[in-house]
Structure 1
């Protein structure tokens, strides 16, 4: 087992929202512990950003480095893997501007909302969608979508155990918020 070397494994050194990643919520051996979390190096043995930022300079994130943004991050937010990279550089810029603690407070609220979505609105096929939505949309948009979704569930008398119907209603609200921002809630290739 690795020694935990970062205070916030839900935030990648590169700005990825590890706490909003589908692999963070998998049960079993393929679960990712977050950036530099327990057993991280077993799953990500050669992350050059962790080596540079955390191991060599003892930073929590790249934004703390006076060379930020460096060539290692060039194009980092232009494509996605199994998690969206769209907000990674803007996350780091936000941390640089307003500080790590303020960012972490906002991220914790996003994680809380994602966990609500997964517990009460996931019919078994929406985890990736909810992870992308909680990464891209603002906390206000997420909270508003949840509130309106709950109202529609009540108005339409959807049963508590009807996760498919509940999921459709919440996803409809999240898609409307995304549409207003002209973004798609799916991974980019």
Structure 2
């Protein structure tokens, strides 16, 4: 199959249906998914149940693997930038620092990371970290705001960061496995994430 091969019409319809269904599970940012006892475990589970966070984190890993020219430290710039700036955003949120357009920026992160996966755009070093890091700040802010009054904020945030790293690693592994197989599949996955972002942006408009 050539690099520009497209999925079948049936596969395209299934992907579009998936993208349309995803917004119902997005923006799960209140009350840390309803947990009354906040701890490492509840923080770990939270990014796995908010589809906006989950999709963005996996997409960052996918992009990093698909766009890399070789195995090595280059693979880690995107995930490290995202995780580090998410932590910074969470710390700002815990301190009550207010930034505008948090939810629109989270939605925009899905559009951008999805397009990065589709294009396999190679960006070297710290530039890759900065591209995704800008959006990660807003993901972190959303987490920080919801934890600002929690006595166990640090334990919960630690769980969130652990889940973030694992989601990045899952994306890296999937992206590396798909680098030379069924070229349309990672592109289709990126397109679903991008469409998800557009749908969320439209709902927020």
Structure with bigger RCO (C-alpha 8 Å, 6+ apart): 2
With the length of structure 1 as denominator, give the TM-score of the two structures.
0.34
Q: Over alpha carbons, which structure has the higher Rg?
A: 1
Greater share of helix: 2
With the length of structure 2 as denominator, give the TM-score of the two structures.
0.32
